[in-house]
Amino acid sequence: MTAPLAGVRVIDLTMFVAGPFASMLMADLGAEVIKVEPLTGDPVRNNGMGAVIDGESAQFQSFNRNKASVAVDLKQAKGLELVGNLVAESDVLLDNFRPGVMTRLGLDHATLSVAQPGLVSCSISAFGNSGPWRERPGFDLVVQALGGGMSLTGHPETGPAHVPFHLGDTASGMFAVIGVLAALNERATTGRGREVDISLLDSQIALLSDEITNQAAGRPAQQHGGGHPELFPYQAFPTRDESLVIAAVGADKFWPALCGVLGRPDLANDDRFLTNDGRISHKAYLTEQVSAVLRTKGRAEWLELLTAADVPAAPVNNLDSLFGDPQVEARSMLVEVERPSGERVTVSGNPIKTTGHEQTYASAPSLGQDSDQILDRVLGMESDVVERLRDTGVIG
């Protein structure tokens, strides 16, 4: 079987995280993604953050696998014409410029769809194409704060803390893919594409889900700290050596099972603690009692006992613990790819598993490595024409 998005070509004008994450997911699913970069490259290639792998940042390696790279100077008319011609031979145009930039470039959906009605355009920006903040700069941290998410994280003693793994960026990337797939599905029936408008802020708010509904219903949100204000037990606990989490709240049956493992039948039989509401009313006392017992044994021993009793629990892994974890390995969620230099890079795998499609991974491309091949195969350009474009600085 072919990959689910085989035959779909995406022109990817995105940089940094949100857009590249979206186009990477589409590339993983079989779309041909042509990453169009400035002659200096996506700024994330050499942003000085984290490990340097084969001369480029780990962050760039993480978000740009399975893509081709074409380096084009969009400040030149010939460069804009070249990108426009690539779009004309493609299905999807993806960007993450500030609102208005694509219009100034003449690459906005309203302009392109006149001659190409089937085009699906998707723009990802911090605040979307409408509203008073539409033209402001914004990054993941800004939308986590503005969207309310940071008011729930951290501890009352230390204040808010952001989620440190690109929550707003990657959420908007996922919503972008959903929007593009919906538009492609509609196009299969109508022949017409759509413009998809994705905001990092909107995506952050969408993830708040029931927190929003509770707030509107008069139950104000609280900082969660290390647990949850509405659930117990649903938090990390210390043991004699390392921490674990217990989430024994899916049904009240888990509470007596947990108490049995802890050797505390008195807690299981106490009418005050039989329901989650009752346990929340006595959360401080129960946290103290459960913690005291858990500190008497090591984490591995407790996890064996909790698993045998079917109590939802897990170790608090650090990232190093993921390597070699049997569940992570079984799902192929840490994979190695080989760079052209021969250096090997580990990246997170694609969580979307589909029947009949064996996921393959190619490393992130070097800057402009596919310029000649793409211009020949997609636009039918002769090599001497390509060389003139390179000599005049239109392509890199």
Contact (Cβ atoms closer than 8 angstroms) between residue 208 and residue 148: yes
134, burial (CB in 10 Å: exposed 0-12, middle 13-18, buried 19+): middle
154 dihedral zone (left: phi>0; alpha: psi -120 to 50; beta): left
CA dihedral sign of residues 142, 144, 147, 148: negative
What contacts 24+ positions apart, CB below 8 Å, involve 319-325?
none
Q: How confident is the model at residue 158 (pLDDT cuts 50, 70, 90)?
A: confident
Walk me through the domains of the chain, giving residue ranges and CATH numbers: 9-208+329-391 (3.40.50.10540), 244-315 (3.30.1540.10)
- 327: pLDDT strictly greater than 70: yes
Q: What is the pLDDT of residue 156?
A: 79
Measure the CA–CA gap between 59 and 50, rounded to whole angstroms.
Answer: 8
Closest to 243 in 3D by CA, of 315, 321, 325, 318:
315
Q: What is the pLDDT of residue 161?
A: 86
Q: What is the pTM of this model?
A: 0.93
Q: What is the pLDDT of residues 20-65, one digit of tens each?
A: 999 999 999 999 999 999 999 999 999 888 899 888 999 999 999 9
- 226: pLDDT strictly greater than 80: no
Q: How many Cβ atoms from other residues are within 10 Å of residue 1's Cβ?
A: 9
Q: What is the mean pLDDT of residues 100-121?
A: 98
Q: What is the mean pLDDT of residues 211-228?
A: 86
Q: How confident is the model at residue 250 (pLDDT cuts 50, 70, 90)?
A: low
CA 51 from chain centre, in angstroms, equals 20
pLDDT above 70: percentage of residues in the chain: 99
Q: How confident is the model at residue 322 (pLDDT cuts 50, 70, 90)?
A: very high
- 87: pLDDT strictly greater than 70: yes
Measure the CA–CA gap between 24 and 9, rounded to whole angstroms.
Answer: 13
Measure the CA–CA gap between 114 and 303, rounded to whole angstroms.
Answer: 61
Which residues are the active-site residues? 169
Q: What is the pLDDT of residue 126?
A: 96
Q: What is the mean pLDDT of residues 133-150?
A: 93
Q: What is the 3-state secondary structure (H, E, C) of the chain?
A: CCCCCCCCEEEECCCCCHHHHHHHHHHHCCCEEEEEECCCCCHHHHCCCCCEECCEEHHHHHHCCCCEEEEECCCCHHHHHHHHHHHHCCCEEEECCCCCHHHHHCCCHHHHHHHCCCCEEEEEECCCCCCCCCCCCCCHHHHHHHCCHHHCCCECCCECCCCCCCHHHHHHHHHHHHHHHHHHHHHHHHCCCCEEEEEHHHHHHHHHCHHHHHHHCCCCCCCCCCCECCECCEEEECCCCCCEEEECCCCCCHHHHHHHHHCCHHHHHCHHHCCHHHHHHCHHHHHHHHHHHHCCCCHHHHHHHHHHCCCCEEECCCHHHHCCCHHHHHCCCEEEEECCCCCEEEEECCCCCCCCCCCCCCCCCCCCCCHHHHHHHHHCCCHHHHHHHHHCCCEC
Q: What is the pLDDT of residues 342-395, one digit of tens each?
A: 899 999 999 999 998 899 999 999 999 999 999 999 999 999 999 999 999 999
Q: What is the mean pLDDT of residues 230-248?
A: 94
- Lookup: tokens for 350: 């694609």
Q: How confident is the model at residue 73 (pLDDT cuts 50, 70, 90)?
A: very high
- In sequence order, what are the beta bridge partners of 315? 244
Q: What is the pLDDT of residues 263-321, one digit of tens each?
A: 999 999 999 999 999 999 999 999 999 999 999 999 999 999 999 999 999 999 999 99
Q: What is the pLDDT of residue 222?
A: 79
Q: How many Cβ atoms from other residues are within 10 Å of residue 372's Cβ?
A: 17
Q: What is the mean pLDDT of residues 251-267?
A: 93
* Mean pLDDT over each residue of the chain, to the nearest integer: 94
- Lookup: tokens for 84: 């426009």
